[in-house]
Structure 1
Amino acid sequence: MSDQPAHAPYDALLLLSFGGPEGPEDVVPFLENVTRGRGIPRERLREVGQHYFLFGGVSPINDQNRELLAALREDLAAHGVDLPVYWGNRNWAPYLTDTLREMTAAGHRRVLTLTTSAYASYSGCRQYRENLADALATLTAEGLTPPRVDKLRHYFNHPGFVRPMVDATIAALGRLPDDVRAGARLAFTTHSIPTSAADASGPAEGHGDGGAYVAEHLDVARTVAAAVREETGTDRPWDLVYQSRSGAPHIPWLEPDICDHLETVHGEGAPAVVMVPIGFVSDHMEVTYDLDTEATAKAAELGLPVARAATVGADPRFVAAVRDLVLERAASERGERPERCALGALGPSHDLCPVGCCPARAPRPAAAGADSPYVQGASTS
């Protein structure tokens, strides 16, 4: 038997997230980071930042990532997986480049990355990979030899991600008034993206008509709805809807928007709606504002009872799923054939993003993919 640890060849795990402001003075600089290169004036950014100012200028995402970070460390240690866990963000401290510099100084040579985005898309996958490539190139330019960086596969259909959403949906149904619960509809929500980005999401052979982004969300929605039906005995109508649209109004984005959807189903006589944010890992700003504030206000205006299901967050089953994905990928790298858990019809996702997967409008190097460059002799693919 090999005396290698179960996580070999990896020697560290990186939690990679979006980042968010932690006070009013951070809001505009944070939004400048997010929109860098688009030429948006500070006055406009202050208008966009009003969502954050309503909550004291603090995004909940950072505390949620701290909770997840602590839970991952505790779970790995409890199961004898001696793998240090680091945290870096794309747009706010701790910045990704600083975290990778720290990991390089600590001597790490093979790093696995968990992104707080479960689905395939440019903004949810390749853009993170581009940020990784940029950070690795920066360290190389500084004369450092950064580690090889890989990325965990998409986990949208892992049981540890799906089952908490099933339970959260049932719990939300239980919060509705008794007289409307039986007829309540389910609205599965996710971030709207431009239809062109959706059509190009996932491997090239699947591009077109929503691509992998829409297909993956539909598969999860179908799986959750079926499990809720099985456990409650009620077959409920459901829809996949979108939220958090941004960008120029003349560019087509995925629809319908959640608020428009609430108006539609209310007009059709729906007695209540449960909003299930399957597209989000945690209750960050786009959940707490777009659903808990804006959509809930629209429902109140309509007189439509609504409840919102919790996101997965640091649920122990999701934390255990991350451990499972780490050990699965490590075994694959050692040439073994581990069991790859997945619910629904699509099966487990690829380990290595193929060429042409979720392409950018302008080609840029991206780490953890089949077309990734080498960094100081260490492949980032």
Structure 2
Amino acid sequence: MRDVLDATPYDALLLLSFGGPEGPDDVIPFLENVTRGRGIPRERLKEVGEHYFLFGGVSPINDQNRALLDALRKDFADHGLDLPIYWGNRNWAPYLTDTLREMTADGHRRILVLATSAYASYSGCRQYRENLADSLAALEAEGLDLPKVDKLRHYFNHEGFLEPMIEGVVRSLADLPEDVRDGAHIAFSTHSIPTASADTSGPVEGHGEGGAYVRQHLEAAGLIADAVRERTGVDHPWQLVYQSRSGAPHIPWLEPDICDHLQTLHESGAPAVVIAPIGFVSDHMEVLYDLDTEAKAKAEELHLPMRRSATVGADPRFAAAVRDLILERAATERGERPTPCALGTLGASHNLCPVGCCPARAPRPAAAGVDSPYA
């Protein structure tokens, strides 16, 4: 008889993601949601919206989250984990507040949150926690009995997150022409953020140049590069690069930009490149546009053979990793001492974000942390 896995004290999982438009009429309202309070002119939003209109006004992220939900539900059912899964977004339907309201109405009292961001940063962690606090405040104002909400730890160094990307890089290298394959460089790409935000990412004791955001990405990239070397017998040069900058020109952001890096590779005589978007869980718009459109066009202009490896998406190994993270956190909450899966040297991330972790420019309440107003 199959063992029943114990997620006690948790009684539900919430997949929390960014959201995206699902048709042309959604694009500008979606971008208004994303940029609310930042004073960005509507004309600028229309310029950004052109990226979406190239793909029919549809971001792939919602369908990718549906696929991940299916993968998680199948994995849980196959392994005897009885834990219902819900889905809520920050910026588009299904909205987070509506989903938390539904979960509360369904009687769930201890909720675990899986955010579709593997690394520490304000936009990748604390902002999600602020959104959770906003939604809980809205439910409290409605007189509802609030559930306790916890967030799963960062999973950038979990084997189930890394293994699909390792295989993706190996496949992409194999797809290059044989005469340039062994000399190919690997560009590990992630979202650029302001350097000030990077420097204060993660716990206070680790603040400094690049902060936890850069350290964690370098750790993941190094682990993938080492595994690729073991499997191919070739030591490919690699670098962490950035994409999707969106801020004011006078504010320093993490560099080098992926297209600038492609230019540098070409000038240095690199014969080919594989771009591995390790900063993204799925192939959403910033992967499709910034890599598959802009970076691809730049590589073609330079006559630089390029392949883009796959993100993790709904890979069954990632679904298994989520199950592992749930059981680890549940055991910890029960007072047990599980052995966390964390490859490399940085170890497992904290379960509760400490005070001062990934601070916002203007302090706001954030749930699922040491300083949460909703204990």
Identify the TM-score tier after normalising by the shorter chain: over 0.9
Distance across 2 between alignment mates of 1:5 and 1:295: 44
1:335 corresponding residue in structure 2? 335
Q: Does residue 247 of the first structure (1) align with residue 234 of the second (2)?
A: no
- How do 1:59-78 and structure 2 match up within 5 A? 59-78=59-78
1:265 corresponding residue in structure 2? 265
- Structure 2: give runs of 5+ residues left out of the alignment: none
Q: Does residue 144 of the first structure (1) align with residue 148 of the second (2)?
A: no
- Amino acid aligned to 2:350: H
2:93 corresponding residue in structure 1? 93
1:133 corresponding residue in structure 2? 133
| TM-score normalized by the length of structure 1 | 0.97
- How do 1:78-227 and structure 2 match up within 5 A? 78-227=78-227
Q: Deviations over 1:211-259 (max 9, x none)?
A: 0000000011111000000110001110000000001000000000000
- How do 1:35-50 and structure 2 match up within 5 A? 35-50=35-50
* Structure 1 residue 43 displacement after superposition: 2.1
Distance across 1 between alignment mates of 2:307 and 2:111: 40
- Amino acid aligned to 2:372: S
Distance across 2 between alignment mates of 1:45 and 1:191: 19
- How do 1:331-370 and structure 2 match up within 5 A? 331-370=331-370
Distance across 1 between alignment mates of 2:4 and 2:156: 30
| 8 Å CA contact retained: 2:14, 2:88 | yes
Distance across 1 between alignment mates of 2:78 and 2:182: 42
Distance across 2 between alignment mates of 1:65 and 1:4: 26
Q: Deviations over 1:95-140 (max 9, x none)?
A: 0000000000000000000000000000000000000000000000
3-state SS, counterpart of residue 150 of structure 1: strand
Distance across 2 between alignment mates of 1:5 and 1:154: 22
Distance across 1 between alignment mates of 2:101 and 2:359: 27
| 8 Å CA contact retained: 1:276, 1:310 | yes
The list of structure 1 runs, each at least 4 consecutive aligned residues, that deviate by more than 4 angstroms after superposition, is: none
| 8 Å CA contact retained: 2:4, 2:79 | no
3-state SS, counterpart of residue 289 of structure 1: helix
- Amino acid aligned to 1:258: I
1:233 corresponding residue in structure 2? 233
- Amino acid aligned to 1:17: S
Distance across 1 between alignment mates of 2:331 and 2:34: 36
* Structure 1 residue 41 displacement after superposition: 2.5
Distance across 2 between alignment mates of 1:335 and 1:40: 47
| TM-score normalized by the length of structure 2 | 0.98
3-state SS, counterpart of residue 214 of structure 2: helix
Q: Does residue 312 of the first structure (1) align with residue 312 of the second (2)?
A: yes
Distance across 1 between alignment mates of 2:283 and 2:27: 18
3-state SS, counterpart of residue 82 of structure 1: coil
2:284 corresponding residue in structure 1? 284
- Amino acid aligned to 2:96: L
| 8 Å CA contact retained: 1:100, 1:146 | no
| 8 Å CA contact retained: 2:203, 2:353 | yes
- Structure 1: give runs of 5+ residues left out of the alignment: none
How much is the aligned-residue C-alpha RMSD, in angstroms?
Answer: 1.0
- Amino acid aligned to 1:60: P
3-state SS, counterpart of residue 126 of structure 1: helix
Q: Deviations over 1:182-202 (max 9, x none)?
A: 100000000000000000000
2:20 corresponding residue in structure 1? 20
Distance across 2 between alignment mates of 1:5 and 1:293: 44
Relative to 1, partners in 2 of residues 1:5 and 1:311: Cα closer, same or farther, differing over 3 Å?
A: closer
Distance across 1 between alignment mates of 2:227 and 2:39: 46
3-state SS, counterpart of residue 49 of structure 1: helix
Q: Between Structure 1 and Structure 2, how many residues are aligned?
A: 373
2:326 corresponding residue in structure 1? 326
Relative to 1, partners in 2 of residues 1:42 and 1:80: Cα closer, same or farther, differing over 3 Å?
A: same
Paired-residue identity, %: 78
Q: Does residue 294 of the first structure (1) align with residue 294 of the second (2)?
A: yes
Distance across 1 between alignment mates of 2:143 and 2:49: 38
- Amino acid aligned to 1:102: E
